[in-house]
């Protein structure tokens, strides 16, 4: 199993040699969001397609008025 430290080091190592600090931060933030999402799925913290559609319609309706 890959540790978090190994994932971070691999992600940085895969970037081009001329990568800017911002590129590194974006990659790490992306990995953080993916890991967070995977943990949410594993714990059952998800929404059904219908729930997402309903939430979006409610939001759109709120901002349309």
Q: Can you give the pTM of this predicted structure?
A: 0.71
Q: Tell me what the mean pLDDT of segment 29-37 comes to.
A: 96
Listed in sequence order, the residues at least 6 apart from 55 whose beta carbon sits closer than 8 Å to its beta carbon are: 47
DSSP tag of 15: S
Residues above pLDDT 90, as percent of the chain: 74
Q: Given this model, what pLDDT does residue 65 score?
A: 61
Confidence label for 59 from pLDDT (cuts 50, 70 and 90): confident
Listed in sequence order, the residues at least 6 apart from 8 whose beta carbon sits closer than 8 Å to its beta carbon are: 28, 31
Q: Given this model, what pLDDT does residue 58 score?
A: 80
Confidence label for 47 from pLDDT (cuts 50, 70 and 90): very high
Please give the distance of CA 19 from its chain centroid, rounded to a whole number.
Answer: 21
């Amino acid at each position: 199993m890959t540790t978090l430290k190994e994932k971070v080091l691999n992600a940085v190592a895969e970037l081009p040699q001329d990568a800017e600090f911002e590129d590194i931060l974006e990659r790490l933030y992306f990995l953080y969001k993916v890991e967070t999402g995977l943990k949410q799925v594993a714990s059952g913290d998800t929404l059904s397609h219908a729930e997402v559609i309903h939430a979006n319609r409610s939001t759109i309706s709120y901002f349309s008025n």
